[in-house]
Amino acid sequence: MLAKIKNDFIDLSKPLDISIPLRGDSSNVNAWYVDHPKIEPHSKGDFVGKVSEGASVNFNDISFNPHAHGTHTECVGHITEYFYSVNQNLKQYFFKAEVITLAPEKYQDDFVISRKQLQYALGNKKREALVIRTLPNLKEKLSRRYSNTNPPYLLEQAAEFLAGKGIEHLLIDLPSVDKEKDGGALLAHNAFWNTGGKVRKHATITEFIFVPNKVKDGKYFLNLQVAPFENDASPSRPVLYKIED
């Protein structure tokens, strides 16, 4: 089924899901020093919400942290004293996106994504969203425990470049655009949302995506599906659609 968006055609029957599913055990991806998520039958008194244990329905409680346990989309409320909800600030859901693949560069004792890399990858392209796949791109990203591993991140100048270029929605396959332990500086977050000037309240950052190797670099339409949580961040399901020739 073809659909026309902004003079381009996409095949709605061929979605490319780049989210990581939430699982209620230790095989789930994990960061920020918290336990794994839990999905378990609700129990109260003699009631256990599980059909195999006599209930008429399966009735699970789910406990998780959106920042630590999988694909999530966040707004500037993630780093501000004033409360901003991603559900209130993300009002559109289809965006022209570019998928790029980068190998983080060595910087001091870290590996990072630099402004120069982004400039080279994007050139003069005008996009609303940017999807960054980092190398190596292994399936262990679906279940890796990132706490205390100092994963790669964006340099402040890289985030400034993206904001200046008009990228409104940044998606990356890492637990954060910032260094794991930076003393709370959050330089890339602040630069992307321009918290020192006119705050980009409409802009979002999506972390913990997974872009399969079969998805080639290039231009797509992104459908950014976000659960309607009134919170700074929400579990999300970004889906790419190839633009038909």
For residue range 168-220, list pLDDT tens digits in order. 999 999 999 999 999 999 999 999 999 999 999 999 999 999 999 999 999 99
Which tokens in the block code for residue 7? 């003079």
Q: Residue 245: what pLDDT?
A: 73
Whether 186 and 179 have beta carbons less than 8 Å apart is answered as no
Question: What does the alpha-carbon distance between residue 1 and residue 196 come to, in Å, rounded to a whole number?
Answer: 45
pLDDT digits (tens, 9 = 90+) for 222-235: 999 999 999 999 99
The answer, yes or no, to whether residue 10 has pLDDT greater than 80, is yes
The answer, yes or no, to whether residue 34 has pLDDT greater than 90, is yes
Tell me the percentage of the chain whose pLDDT exceeds 70.
Answer: 100
HEC profile of 160-174: HHHHHCCCCEEEECC
* Residue ranges per structural domain of the chain: 2-22+67-244
pLDDT digits (tens, 9 = 90+) for 107-134: 999 999 999 999 999 999 999 999 999 9
Whether 29 and 143 have beta carbons less than 8 Å apart is answered as yes
pLDDT digits (tens, 9 = 90+) for 42-93: 999 999 999 999 999 999 999 999 999 999 999 999 999 999 999 999 999 9
Which residues, 6+ apart, have CB-to-CB distance to 107 below 8 Å?
114, 155
Question: Side chain identity at 40, as an amino acid letter?
Answer: E
Length of the chain: 245
The answer, yes or no, to whether residue 1 has pLDDT greater than 90, is no
Q: Residue 6: what pLDDT?
A: 76
235 preceded by a cis bond (ω within 30 of 0): no
Architecture of domain 2-22+67-244: 3-Layer(bba) Sandwich (3.50)
Whether 97 and 220 have beta carbons less than 8 Å apart is answered as yes
Q: Residue 31: what pLDDT?
A: 98
Rounded to two decimals, what is the model's pTM?
0.96
At 132, is the secondary structure helix, strand, or coil? strand
Which tokens in the block code for residue 120? 């080279």
C-alpha distances in Å from residue 47, one per residue of 24, 39, 62, 176 = 21, 16, 17, 40
In the chain, which residue ranges form alpha helices assigned H by DSSP?
A: 86-89, 115-122, 156-164, 187-193
At 234, is the secondary structure helix, strand, or coil? strand
Which residues, 6+ apart, have CB-to-CB distance to 64 below 8 Å?
22, 37, 38, 70, 235
Per-residue pLDDT band at 153 (split at 50, 70, 90): very high
